[in-house]
A and B are shown apart, each in its own frame.
Chain A
């Protein structure tokens, strides 16, 4: 059974991991495609890439600008940082796909300031890893919510 474990508890940085029943190269193919993150990260409704800049559209109607720092096919490690437009003092996100006894172990780490975002990202990453597992094992896209076409407010 896949599990999501909190590896480091009560510390500002977030580190979560999940076991996925698929070979590492299969998992890595998805993780290494930065434009596909919205397929498995609930609450993201679009991800586009130009050069090393990724733009993530969120379900709340906002967006993140990110700089892609590293796509390392040898270590199967993807690194990025959020650069705006919201105020971010420091951020580093890292997704690593490791070989496991049966399938793959995916580790998702984030370091971020301001600190109020730590718990927000922690919960989102738990959902994201579960979304990645569902996409790869079951072929289902993000179980997260996407906005309806008409978002008019009465």
Chain B
């Protein structure tokens, strides 16, 4: 009998969503308690800031260039090695509940196994584990889509199929619909009962699976909440938790328009062009939404909705932990909590996400509460780590050798371990080719408190632009040092370091098979 692993992910959640990271709006006592008893990471970055590449990194322990999922819509190859497969081969029972997104969502011909499973209600791939998981039950961001959750909702609460905000519009673009009190993008008052909302459904399905396991089974459970990713449509019954009218504007949002736009102009050309509505660079935000139209009250309302969703996640996780404790497993469960990427949530004057390598999207919540039986001393690690390190960590927990095909290494349990590992840097990449023609390529190295982003030539950049941020002096990333002559030697050194550590590009890029 070994240590069990509860891997908890959210989708598009900011570092400051959690109380343990300084968040002052959502109450997150469950996760905060895990942080107190475990290891909290202050500088965890994704290797890509959209779902599919980032989730592929979590599952494989590989950088984007090595697993090949370079943008949303590119399926992870069917034969990609996975940590779930390793654990399953080693005798672990393996399950994933919630959002997977290793394969594209928009799939009218059911070309991908995950969508076939979601439509039929199958929980494995024709009797075999899928990507190493014995059992999978999927949820997306609402009632639409080819997920188990939609089928369950249709069977049990058909009157609420239309209560959720539809993520896509009739033209299959990300919906620019609005709602709430402030006519905010992708906000809706959703009268679905809490128990029929996907957050609680994900927890309930995981609990059901855990209850089916034998007491002496080792298990790896990926609890994958679709929230607080847009749309922001938590159950109306929970609106009392956070009133947008009571919220201050986030520190990352400059209310004065001229100040806000000056800070945007200090960044690359694609920032200003998206802000003005003259550029649609990627599919992950409503194509017809113009960020310059975002009002302070809309920022407040989106934040309120997101924080209500954060509280529901914390409570759902608490339910799962209580259920596992009731099985007698409390001392032997490692809990790892993180997300796939961040969300602007008003920072810099934006919502959603895209090719923007700043803390709003890159600085992630990450907490590892090792199994109490392991006797790990609680700690806080400020050294840079990445989601690429998760799969190797799961191997280490299970007592397995970290395979050569993984790029990361086990997360450090203290600053001393981080120093011994020689942790200095973390890498993040972006590549996108939009159906409208825009092409953006970013490569980022974070090291020594600096974030250095190179823009490769595309339709927005000529290859000479970039960003250089000093996180200590400029935590909100408003003063771009890229062209500061005094920082040129540092910039050159960071870029050389980036080139030294980025894996080589694959010879051939995998085909995009859906916009998302």
Q: Which residues of A contact B (CB under 8 A)?
A: 6, 10, 12, 41-44, 58-62, 86-87, 89, 114-120, 122-124, 126-127, 144-145, 147-148, 151-154
Contact = CB atoms under 8 A, between A and B. Distances in A.
Contact of A115 (B148, B436, B514): B436
Given A89-B171, A116-B283, A148-B120, A153 B108 contact: no
A120 B116 contact: no
B79 to A, nearest CB: 17
Nearest to B152: A153
14 contacts: A43-B108, A43-B109, A114-B172, A115-B436, A116-B171, A117-B172, A119-B511, A119-B515, A124-B109, A144-B109, A145-B116, A151-B121, A153-B151, A154-B121
Given A59-B119, A120-B104, A124-B109, 14 more contacts: A58-B108, A59-B110, A60-B108, A60-B110, A62-B108, A114-B172, A115-B436, A119-B512, A119-B514, A120-B514, A122-B512, A122-B513, A123-B514, A151-B120
A152 B121 contact: yes
Contact of B513 (A87, A115, A119, A147): A119
A153 B109 contact: no
Interface of B: 73, 104, 106-111, 115-116, 119-121, 146, 148, 151-152, 154-155, 170-173, 283, 433, 435-436, 511-515
Is chain B's interface secondary structure helix, strand, loop, or mixed overall?
A: loop
B513 A58 contact: no
A116 to B, nearest CB: 4
A10 B509 CA distance: 12
B173 A116 contact: yes
Given A43-B111, A59-B110, A122 B511 contact: yes
B154 A120 contact: no
A120 B171 contact: no
Contacts of A12: 435
Contacts of B436: 115
Contacts of B515: 116, 119-120
A147 B119 contact: yes
Contacts, number: 94
Contacts of A118: 435
A17 B107 CA distance: 22
A147 B126 CA distance: 12
A43 B120 contact: no
Is chain A's interface secondary structure helix, strand, loop, or mixed overall?
A: loop
A114 B171 contact: yes
B144 to A, nearest CB: 12
A122 B109 CA distance: 12
B76 to A, nearest CB: 14
A96 B436 CA distance: 27
A87 B170 contact: yes
Kindly name the residue among A41, A44, A59, A127 whose own CB sees the greatest number of chain B CB atoms within 10 A: A59
A42 B115 CA distance: 14
A120 B513 contact: yes
A118 B171 CA distance: 12
Nearest to A113: B171
Contacts of A117: 172
Contacts of B433: 10
B513 A123 contact: yes
B110 A119 contact: no
A43 B152 CA distance: 23
B119 A151 contact: yes
B105 to A, nearest CB: 10
B173 A114 contact: yes
A145 B109 CA distance: 9
Given A10-B433, A114-B171, A120 B120 contact: no
Nearest to A154: B121
B164 to A, nearest CB: 17
A87 B173 CA distance: 11
Nearest to B109: A43
Contacts of B73: 119
